[in-house]
Amino acid sequence: MSKVLSVTQLCKTYGEMVAVDGISFEVGCNEIVGLLGPNGAGKTTTINMILGVLAPASGRICIEGVDIATHRSRVLQRTNFAAVYAPLPGNLTVQQNLRVFGLLYGVKNLAERIEALLQQFDLEKFRDVKCGVLSSGEQTRVSLAKAMLNSPQLLLLDEPTASLDPAIARDIRSKIRDFAAQGTGGVLWTSHNMYEVEDVCGRVLFLSRGRLLLEGDPKTLPREHGKATLEELFISVAREPLTLKVE
């Protein structure tokens, strides 16, 4: 499996506080990798560094083998993201937002691409509605449509289904699974919903206090560490990371 994302010995410190402490991992083509951990574990910090909006203290991030530190624009052309804390400007309509970001990502045949995404994410009726008046679930769908605009090689999703009802969340999961399976890209996904992670991710990475604690298949990892479910394993990582049987 070819590598879409390669993170090597990534560190971020804020003064004395170590937010990310020398983590290394990869995301392969057609792979959905879950980045898990309790609040403050360093997930969003890691995603921000991969997006180029936060400079690492040390370490290397390569997307399709290209270093973001030296080829920022080229790398970000092939990357995109959706995060619950980064809604699109509420004073532009859905279509206007997609057009502006489509130009920023250099999307070819933009009008057709926007139409396809409006249809795919069931946003046609909101085309001329300002994003600020949409429900949180609808805004999430717009953010996901934006994230798919440039058919990214690397898709970063920070709790993408946090504000969606179960039916829409399942639909979104299915779309992202299709994206990973059909295209040539990979997905890095953070979520606190362990059912979702088990359902979607082929591999998970557990972060705690900025360190990568565990890595493996979400279906077998809990048993390997003496836990019945992924949720139990998550709680152990959050509460007592040092007591885990790390192999």
Partner 1 sequence: MYLTHIAAVVLRQFYLIRGSLSRVLPLFVWAGIDIVLWGFITKYLNTVTSAGFNFVPSLLGAVLLWDFLIRVMQGVTMAFFEDVWSRNFLNIFATPLSISEYLSGLVLSSIATSSVGLVVMVVLATTVFGLSFFVYGLMLVPFFLVLFMCGIALGIFGSGVVLRLGPPAEWFVWPIPAIISPFVGVFYPLSTLPRWMRYISRVLPPSYVFEGMRAIVSGGSTSPHGLLWGACLAVLYILLACWFFTRVYRYAVHTGLIARYSAETLS
Which residues lie across from 203 on neighbouring strands? 33
Alpha carbon separation from 47 to 34, 83, 143, 193, 199 (Å, rounded)? 12, 10, 16, 18, 22
Q: Is 81 in the site for partner 1 (CB under 8 A)?
A: yes
Closer residue to partner 1 (CB): 54 or 235: 54
Burial per residue of 6-37, b for 16 or more beta-carbon CB atoms within 10 angstroms, e otherwise: bbeebbbeeeeebbbbebebbbbebbbbbbbb
Kindly indicate which of the ranges 67-75, 193-201, 216-224, 229-237 contains the residues binding partner 1, using the contact rule CB under 8 A.
67-75
Whole-number Å distance between alpha carbons of 7 and 5:
7
Closer residue to partner 1 (CB): 145 or 213: 145
Per-residue binding letters, 147-166, with partner 1 (x by CB under 8 A): --------------------
Classify 63 as helix, strand or coil: strand
Near partner 1 in 93-112, by CB under 8 A: 93, 96, 99-101, 103-106
Task: Count interface residues toward partner 1 (CB under 8 A).
Answer: 35
Kindly indicate which of the ranges 89-97, 115-123, 206-214, 230-238 contains the residues binding partner 1, using the contact rule CB under 8 A.
89-97
Q: Is 58 in the site for partner 1 (CB under 8 A)?
A: no
Q: Is 167 in the site for partner 1 (CB under 8 A)?
A: no
Whole-number Å distance between alpha carbons of 81 and 70:
20
Q: Is 74 in the site for partner 1 (CB under 8 A)?
A: yes
